[in-house]
Amino acid sequence: MGWNLDKKRPLCPQICEQICVLIAKGELKPGERLMSVRDVAVSASVNPNTVQKSFEQLEQRGVIYSKRGSGWYVSETETTAEGVRGELIRSKTAAYIRDMMALGLSKEDIQKYVKEFNHE
Amino acid sequence: MSEILRCENLTKRFGQTIALDGLSLLVGSGKIIGLLGPNGAGKTTLIKIACGLLTPTSGNVYIEGEKPGVRSKSIVSYLPDVEHLYHWMTVEQIVLMFRDFYEDFRPDLAYEMLARLGIDRKARLKTLSKGNKEKMSLILVMSRNAKLYVLDEPIAGVDPATRDYIISTILNNYNPDSSVLISTHLISDIETVLDEVIFIKDGRTVLHGSVDWIRQQYGKSVDELFREVFAW
Amino acid sequence: MVGKLMKYDFMSFFRLLLPVQLIIIGIAAINRIIQIFESSDTSAYHIAFVSSIVLLVISCLVALVMTVVIAIVRFYQGLYSKEGYLSHTLPVTPAQHILSKLLVSVIFEIGTVFSIFLALNVALGGEVALELYKAGFFLFGKAFGLYHVHVILFIIELVLGLLTQAATFLLTLYFCISIGQLANRRKILLAFGVFFGLYVAVQILLTIFIILGIALSSNPGWLDFLERIVDWASKHLIAWIHIIAWISIILNAVIGFVFFLVSKTIMTKRLNLN
């Protein structure tokens, strides 16, 4: 898969987010095995310790879990994908609204722009 | 985190020139560390002292608590910035030589990587292309199960495909309990693989910190910060 | 570890020196073939014969010089050039490096002498060589009859003397090269300078000894001492030769060892690769 990382921000949260996107889109199914830490590190050209830390953070959030000696798996709870998706939508929307408000737009203005926005 | 490399007040003069000026640093295990600095900052001098190829004018260097010597050389895997392999040997001879001298060398791994590159075992080293010579050196260095890998400018002057090959070879083969010290002045190419960076300038450490800390603290990539620190 | 180092030093010497040794044996073979036409007794034969002999002698000398040159080049390249980056990061001590280079160089000097011996045998042909061997054994037998076991001791002393001489010569060159690499530039020039300086120093020392000897000759006590030595030596000639032989062997060994220690210390404390 293609990784798109911004070198200006810490890499750990970015890796977490991109894995969450894969789960939310259903590209990674519940119970499916993730790439190994080393494989992610090599494919994204990222430090293995950073990948390890990201995986551990996702584990704390209950998104993935580790099996001793066999690697990392997407959590099998039914609602995982949905939860991750909801969280992504919330945080992305919040970020968008924050940026727009910084430009001086009101909530109504933003709704108007979103409605009129032509998605080609 | 246990200590692998420690430098105390290292100074190295070449006649009138001061290459290292009281440099101190500490490198722990399990990390990939970038040794960053412009040309002439003292990166290569520091590395050569750590590998026992130069003697400091004053100050001390310790590898796992011992001064450079037979023991340190058996646990440090060094890639110099010059073509150091005995050019008159064949690929197979140099692999066997590494096996003879380094107990931590894994010849099977080296042969496997060489085969993937299509490098013939019977070829003489001097007949290899420049790119293949560099890859060959890296393969030998990374085929060791060393405690400390010291790579001096591994990505200088190589094309992007070779650079990717080099980075993935390092990530795929280094021993996670050990540390990798990579010197370079091409930071943006390599900064995502680093845990820590050490900026050196005029023979001194000017900054030493974790990469994510730098990104959080400054809101900048390491490359941008580097350009600021070394702007003149 | 010295054994492992020697294995790879041997390889590097072998590929450089094998051609040289094959060439002298080849030239000897050519000379032998020319001799087949001896009966023709034409001027063309004489020219060919003499020139091949000259060629053989020159090539033998060249082979001897080449062996020393390659010993020097391999020492410098292997330990003080780019190859030094690998050599000095092997888990091996400087003393082991020097010892390996020295032993392999001496082995190849013996090898070159042996090749020359072989080449001369080829050039002379079976019958002449056989006659020479017979003469040699005859002389040895005569000498053995006269001096008994001392002949064998003399031969042992001669061989030991030649070996220590060769080793000390190489160690002297290693010393010069090691001093030379201390410079940040013009390392080889400095090495030559050191070699020349050593030569001059030895000459000066010898001159001082001679002058001292002459100066002392006016002293009756000294003259008396010399006279007694000469007297003793003429009565115990065999013992005298043994003493001289062992003094020179030990002196050479001591000088060689000092040079070895200096080179080793430079490699340990003052390595200056660039």
Q: What is the mean pLDDT of residues A40-47?
A: 88
Which residue of B16, B17, B53 to mutate against C (max C Cβ within 10 Å)? B53
pLDDT tens column, C177-207 = 999 988 877 888 888 999 999 999 999 999 9
Give the residue carrying structure tokens 């040895």: C140
Question: Which residues are B58's β-sheet partners?
Answer: B11
Given C85, C106, C135, the domain boundary residue is C135
Q: Do B171 and A48 touch (CB under 8 A)?
A: yes
Residues C74 and C185 in one domain: no
B169: closest chain A residue by CA: A42
**Alpha helix stretches (DSSP H) within chain B:** 43-50, 70-75, 91-101, 107-117, 130-142, 160-173, 211-218, 222-229
Give how many domains chain C has, as a whole number: 2
Residue with tokens 């350009």: B227
CATH number of the domain that B192 lies in?
A: 3.40.50.300
Establish if B217 touches chain A: CB-CB under 8 angstroms.
no
Same domain, residue pair C251 and C167: yes
Identify whether residues C208 and C88 lie together within a single domain: no
Residue given tokens 């590097």 in the structure block: C12
- Confidence category of residue C75, pLDDT binned at 50, 70, 90: very high
Q: Is residue C244 part of a domain?
A: yes
- Answer yes or no: do C169 and C273 share one domain: yes
Range of the domain at A51: 8-120
Contact A10 B216 (CB under 8 A): yes
* Inside any domain, residue C20: yes
B136-169 tens-digit pLDDT: 999 999 999 999 999 999 988 788 888 888 998 9
Order of strands, sheet of B204-210, starting from the edge strand that comes earlier in the sequence: B76-79, B148-152, B179-184, B32-36, B196-201, B204-210
- Listed as ranges, residues in chain B with pLDDT below 70 are 1, 232
Look up the domain containing B79 and give its range. 3-229
CB of A46 within 8 Å of a chain B CB? The answer is yes
All chains having 3 or more CB pairs closer than 8 angstroms to chain C: B
* pLDDT of C38 above 80: no
pLDDT for A64: 86
Give pLDDT, residue C86: 94
Report the CATH number that the domain containing residue A91 is assigned in CATH: 1.10.10.10
Q: C111 vs chain B: nearest CA distance in angstroms?
A: 22
For C222, other C-beta atoms within 10 Å of its C-beta total: 13
pLDDT band, very low/low/confident/very high, at C13 (cuts 50, 70, 90) = very high
Both C154 and C247 in one domain: the answer is yes
Other Cβ atoms within 10 Å of B160 Cβ, number = 9
Residues of chain C with Cβ-Cβ distance to B100 below 8 Å are 4, 7
Residue C169: inside a domain: yes
pLDDT band at A78 (very low <50, low <70, confident <90, very high): low
How many domains are contained in chain B?
Answer: 1
Beta bridge partners of B25: B7
Q: Is residue C140 part of a domain?
A: no
Residue C11: what pLDDT?
A: 93
pTM, entire model: 0.85
- In this prediction, residue A119 carries a pLDDT of 67
pLDDT above 90 for C263? yes
Among B residues 47-86, those touching chain C with beta carbons less than 8 Å apart: 48, 51-55, 70-71, 73-74, 76, 78, 80, 82-86
pLDDT of the residue at B217:
87
Contacts of A78 (CB under 8 A, 6+ apart): A30
Residue A1 lies in a domain: no
State the average pLDDT over residues A22-45. 85
Residues 34-73 of chain B with CB under 8 A from chain A are none
| Full residue range of the structural domain in which residue C44 is found | 1-135
Predicted local confidence at residue C253, as pLDDT: 93
Give the Cα separation of B142 and B175 in Å (integer): 9
| Domain end point (choices C135, C163, C198) | C135
Cα angle vertex B193, ends B142, B225, to 5°?
135
Average pLDDT over residues C253-263: 94
The count of domains in chain A is: 1
Domain-embedded: residue C126: yes
What ipTM goes with this model?
0.90
pLDDT-based confidence at A1, cuts 50/70/90? low
**Would you give the end-to-end CA distance of chain B in angstroms?**
36
Q: Is the pLDDT of residue A5 over 90?
A: no
The pLDDT assigned to C52 comes to 82
Instruction: Give B223's contacts in chain A (Cβ within 8 Å).
Output: 7
Q: What is the pLDDT of residue B113?
A: 93
Region of poorest pLDDT, from A3-7, A77-81, A109-113, B198-202: A77-81
